[in-house]
Structure 1
Amino acid sequence: MSHTPYPSSYYAASANPANARDALNSSIETDVCVIGAGYTGLSSALFLLEQGFRVVVLEAAKVGFGASGRNGGQIVNSYSRDIDAVERSAGSDEARLIGAMAFEGGRIIRERVARYGIDCDLKNGGVFAAFNLKQMRHLEAQKSLWERYGYDQLEMLDHDGIRNVVSCDRYIGGMLDHGGGHIHPLNLALGEAAAIESLGGVVYEQSPAIRIERGSTPRVHTPNGQVTAKFVVIAGNAYLGALVPELAAKSMPCGTQVIATEPLAPDLAASLLPQDYCVEDCNYLLDYFRLSADKRLIYGGGVVYGARDPADVDSVIRPKMLKTFPQLQNIKTDYAWTGNFLLTLSRLPQVGRLDDNLYYSQGCSGHGVTYTHVAGKVIAEVLRGQAERFDALASLPHYPFPGGQTFSAPLSALGALYYSLRDRIGF
Structure 2
Amino acid sequence: MANTPYPQSYYAASANAAHPRPALEGEVETDVCVIGAGYTGLSSALFLLENGFRVTVLEAAKVGFGASGRNGGQIVNSYSRDIDVIERSVGPGQAQLLGQMAFEGGRIIRERVAKYQIQCDLKDGGVFAALNSKHMGHLESQKRLWERYGHAQLELLDERRIREVVACDNYVGGLLDMSGGHIHPLNLALGEATAVESLGGTIYEQSAAVRIERGANPVVHTAQGKVRAKFIIVAGNAYLGNLVPELAAKSMPCGTQVITTAPLGDELAKTLLPQDYCVEDCNYLLDYYRLTSDKRLIFGGGVVYGARDPANIEAIIRPKMLKACPQLKDVGIDYAWTGNFLLTLSRLPQVGRLGDNIYYSQGCSGHGVTYTHLAGKVLAEALRGQAERFDAFADLPHYPFPGGQLLRTPFAAMGAWYYGLRDKLGF
Q: TM-score, with normalisation over the residues of structure 1?
A: 1.00
Counterpart check, 1:383 vs 2:383: yes
What does residue 271 of structure 2 align with? 271
Counterpart CA distance in 2 for 1:192 and 1:138 is 35
What does residue 352 of structure 2 align with? 352
Q: Secondary structure at the match of 1:334?
A: strand
What does residue 4 of structure 1 align with? 4
What does residue 169 of structure 2 align with? 169
What does residue 414 of structure 2 align with? 414
What does residue 402 of structure 2 align with? 402
Counterpart CA distance in 1 for 2:355 and 2:394 is 13
What does residue 63 of structure 2 align with? 63
What does residue 251 of structure 2 align with? 251
Instruction: List per-residue Cα deviations over 1:175-203 (Å, max 9, x = no partner).
Output: 00010000000000000000000000000
Counterpart CA distance in 2 for 1:233 and 1:267 is 47
Q: Secondary structure at the match of 2:78?
A: coil
TM-aligned CA deviation for residue 265 of structure 1? 1.4
Aligned-partner residue type, residue 395 of structure 1: D
User: Which shows bigger deviation, 321-330 or 108-117?
Assistant: 321-330
Instruction: List per-residue Cα deviations over 1:307-329 (Å, max 9, x = no partner).
Output: 01110000000000011111111
The root-mean-square deviation of aligned C-alpha atoms, in Å, is 0.5
Q: Secondary structure at the match of 2:31?
A: strand
What does residue 131 of structure 1 align with? 131
Counterpart CA distance in 2 for 1:423 and 1:154 is 25
Aligned-partner residue type, residue 372 of structure 2: T
Counterpart check, 1:178 vs 2:181: no
What does residue 231 of structure 1 align with? 231
- The 5 Å alignment of 1:144-159 reads 144-159=144-159
TM-aligned CA deviation for residue 3 of structure 1? 0.4
TM-aligned CA deviation for residue 89 of structure 1? 2.2
TM-aligned CA deviation for residue 91 of structure 1? 1.7
What does residue 337 of structure 1 align with? 337
Q: Secondary structure at the match of 1:147?
A: helix
What does residue 318 of structure 2 align with? 318
What does residue 84 of structure 2 align with? 84
Aligned-partner residue type, residue 223 of structure 2: P
What does residue 20 of structure 2 align with? 20
Counterpart check, 1:199 vs 2:202: no
Counterpart check, 1:365 vs 2:329: no
Counterpart CA distance in 2 for 1:19 and 1:28 is 21
Aligned-partner residue type, residue 300 of structure 2: G
Counterpart CA distance in 2 for 1:362 and 1:161 is 38
TM-aligned CA deviation for residue 38 of structure 1? 0.3
Counterpart CA distance in 2 for 1:301 and 1:106 is 22
Instruction: List per-residue Cα deviations over 1:238-259 (Å, max 9, x = no partner).
Output: 0000000000000000000000
Aligned-partner residue type, residue 391 of structure 1: D
Q: Secondary structure at the match of 1:165?
A: coil
User: Which shows bigger deviation, 118-127 or 391-400?
Assistant: 391-400
TM-aligned CA deviation for residue 86 of structure 1? 1.1
TM-aligned CA deviation for residue 420 of structure 1? 1.1
Counterpart CA distance in 1 for 2:90 and 2:41 is 25
Counterpart CA distance in 1 for 2:241 and 2:386 is 30
Q: Secondary structure at the match of 2:77?
A: coil
User: Which shows bigger deviation, 405-414 or 119-128?
Assistant: 405-414
Runs of 4+ in 1 over 4 A off after TM superposition: none
Structure 1: segments with no counterpart, 5+ residues: none
Q: Secondary structure at the match of 2:229?
A: strand
Counterpart CA distance in 1 for 2:89 and 2:45 is 29
Counterpart CA distance in 2 for 1:399 and 1:164 is 43
Q: TM-score, with normalisation over the residues of structure 2?
A: 1.00
Counterpart check, 1:51 vs 2:51: yes
What does residue 297 of structure 1 align with? 297
What does residue 72 of structure 1 align with? 72
Aligned-partner residue type, residue 320 of structure 1: K
Counterpart CA distance in 2 for 1:100 and 1:421 is 34
Aligned-partner residue type, residue 14 of structure 1: S
Counterpart CA distance in 2 for 1:408 and 1:227 is 34
- The 5 Å alignment of 1:27-42 reads 27-42=27-42
Q: May I ask how many residue pairs the two structures share in their alignment? A: 427
TM-aligned CA deviation for residue 90 of structure 1? 1.9
Counterpart CA distance in 1 for 2:320 and 2:109 is 30
Counterpart check, 1:114 vs 2:111: no
Counterpart CA distance in 1 for 2:284 and 2:130 is 12
TM-aligned CA deviation for residue 149 of structure 1? 0.6
TM-aligned CA deviation for residue 28 of structure 1? 0.8
Instruction: List per-residue Cα deviations over 1:286-345 (Å, max 9, x = no partner).
Output: 000000000000000010000011100000000000111111111000000000000000
Counterpart CA distance in 2 for 1:243 and 1:16 is 31
TM-aligned CA deviation for residue 424 of structure 1? 1.3
Counterpart CA distance in 2 for 1:295 and 1:406 is 43
Instruction: List per-residue Cα deviations over 1:45-75 (Å, max 9, x = no partner).
Output: 0000000000000000000000000000000
TM-aligned CA deviation for residue 397 of structure 1? 1.1
TM-aligned CA deviation for residue 19 of structure 1? 1.0
Structure 2: segments with no counterpart, 5+ residues: none
